[in-house]
Chains A and B, each alone.
Chain A
Amino acid sequence: MPERSTITIHVNGHTVVVPAGSVVSAALLAVGEPCRMSVSGEPRTAFCGMGICFECRAVIDGVAHQRTCQMLCHEGMSVETQR
Chain B
Amino acid sequence: MRGFDVLILGAGIVGCACALECVRAGLRVGIVERDVPGGATTAAGMGHIVVMDDSPAQLALTRYSRSLWQELLPHLPVGVEYERRGTVWVAADDEEMGEVHAKRKTYALAGVESEVLDARALAAAEPNLRAGLAGGLLVLDDAVIYPPTAAAFFLHEAVRGGAVLLRGQGADHIGKGIVTLRDGTTYAADRIVVATGADIALLPSLPIQKRKGHLLITDRYPGFLHHQLVELGYLKSAHQISSDSVAFNIQPRLTGQLLIGSSRQYGNENPGIDQRILRSMLERARSYMPALAGISGIRAWTGFRAATPDKLPLIGPTDDPTIFLAMGFEGLGITNAPGAARLLVDGLLGRVPGIDATPFLPSRIALMETKHA
Q: Does B296 touch A at the CB level, under 8 Å?
A: yes
A64 with B255: CB separation less than 8 A: no
**Contact size class for B?**
under 10
- Report B-chain residues with C-beta under 8 Å of the C-beta of A83: 222
Please report which residues of chain A, range 9-62, place their CB below 8 angstroms from some CB of chain B when the two chains form the complex: 39, 57
A65 with B255: CB separation less than 8 A: no
A39 with B294: CB separation less than 8 A: no
Please report which residues of chain B, range 305-323, place their CB below 8 angstroms from some CB of chain A when the two chains form the complex: none
B255 with A39: CB separation less than 8 A: yes
Complexed CA–CA distance, A83 and B223 (Å)? 11
Contact with A along B273-302 (1 / 0, CB 8 A): 000000000000000000000111000000
> How distant is A60 from chain B, measured CB to nearest CB, in Å?
12
Complexed CA–CA distance, A13 and B3 (Å)? 68
- Report A-chain residues with C-beta under 8 Å of the C-beta of B294: 63
Complexed CA–CA distance, A30 and B86 (Å)? 44
Label chain B's interface by main secondary structure.
loop
**Contact size class for A?**
under 10
- Report B-chain residues with C-beta under 8 Å of the C-beta of A82: 220
Q: Which of B220, B221, B294, B296 has the most CB of A within 10 A?
A: B220
Complexed CA–CA distance, A63 and B219 (Å)? 13
Complexed CA–CA distance, A65 and B221 (Å)? 9
- Report B-chain residues with C-beta under 8 Å of the C-beta of A65: 219-220, 296
Complexed CA–CA distance, A64 and B293 (Å)? 12
Complexed CA–CA distance, A23 and B142 (Å)? 46
- Report A-chain residues with C-beta under 8 Å of the C-beta of B220: 39, 65, 82
> How distant is A76 from chain B, measured CB to nearest CB, in Å?
21
> How distant is B297 from chain A, measured CB to nearest CB, in Å?
11
> How distant is A54 from chain B, measured CB to nearest CB, in Å?
8
Complexed CA–CA distance, A32 and B12 (Å)? 46
Complexed CA–CA distance, A21 and B296 (Å)? 27
Complexed CA–CA distance, A5 and B160 (Å)? 67
Of all chain A residues, the one with the shortest Cβ separation from B223 is A83
Complexed CA–CA distance, A59 and B222 (Å)? 13
- Report A-chain residues with C-beta under 8 Å of the C-beta of B296: 65
Complexed CA–CA distance, A39 and B220 (Å)? 9
> How distant is A44 from chain B, measured CB to nearest CB, in Å?
12
- Report A-chain residues with C-beta under 8 Å of the C-beta of B295: 64
- Report A-chain residues with C-beta under 8 Å of the C-beta of B219: 57, 64-65
Of all chain A residues, the one with the shortest Cβ separation from B296 is A65
- Report A-chain residues with C-beta under 8 Å of the C-beta of B255: 39
- Report A-chain residues with C-beta under 8 Å of the C-beta of B222: 83
- Report B-chain residues with C-beta under 8 Å of the C-beta of A63: 294
- Report B-chain residues with C-beta under 8 Å of the C-beta of A57: 219
Complexed CA–CA distance, A65 and B298 (Å)? 11
| The 9 nearest A-B residue pairs measured at CB | A65-B219, A39-B255, A65-B296, A64-B221, A63-B294, A83-B222, A39-B220, A64-B219, A57-B219
Provide a sorted-by-A list of 9 A–B residue pairs whose CB atoms are within 8 angstroms. A39-B220, A57-B219, A63-B294, A64-B219, A64-B221, A64-B295, A65-B219, A65-B220, A65-B296
A residues neighboring B (CB under 8 Å)? 39, 57, 63-65, 82-83
New A-B contacts (9) at CB < 8 Å, excluding given A65-B220, A65-B296, A82-B220 = A39-B220, A39-B255, A57-B219, A63-B294, A64-B219, A64-B221, A64-B295, A65-B219, A83-B222
